[in-house]
Amino acid sequence: MIKKVHHVAIAVKNMDEALKLYEDIFGIKPSKIETVPQQGVKAALLPMSEGGEIELLEPIDQESGVAKFIESRGEGIHHICLEVENVDQELCMLADKGVQLIDKQGRTGLAGKIGFLHPKSTKGVLIELVQKDIKEKG
C-alpha cells in the first residue's frame, strides 16, 4: 500500500548554491546532508513543516546516474519517492505484475529502506519506494 509522497528529488550541479536558494526563497534548512559514495552523490533533505521533503542531489562522481541525468536533461526533478509499509513486499508484488525494477530487494538509503522502479515501466518517471526506519516511526 502506498502511504504518501515521501519526497521529490531534484538533481543540482552545486549543492551549496541550491541550499542557499531554498533557504533564501523559502526559509528551509536541511535536516540532513550526507555523501552516499555508492550512488556517487551528495544528498540533502529539506523538510517541510507539515511533512514531505525535497531531496537535493549533487553528483560527486561523473560516472554516477545523477551526473549522467544532468548531462542529458539538465538540472531538475530526478525522481519521486513514495512511502510504503514494506519495501520488499511491494517490490515483489510489482515484479509479479511485470514492472521493471532497478532494485529487486530493498537496500539502505538516506530516508530508510529503499528500492527503485525502472522509469521504462512508469512513463519515464523514476520512482523510489521507501520504508521509513523503525526508529523514525511513532
Binding site for Zn ion (CB under 5 A): 9, 55, 81, 128
Nearest to residue 80, comparing CAs of 108, 119, 38? 119
Specify the residue, 58 or 96, whose C-beta has the smaller distance to Zn ion.
58
DSSP helix/strand/coil, 88: helix
Q: What angle do CA 90, 91, 93 make, to 5 degrees?
A: 65
User: By C-beta, is 8 or 99 nearer to Zn ion?
Assistant: 8
User: Which residue, 90 or 128, has its beta carbon nearer to Zn ion?
Assistant: 128
| Nearer CB in complex with Zn ion: 83/128 | 128
Distance CA 56, CA 8 (A): 9
Report the distance separating Cα 138 and Cα 62, nearest Å: 39
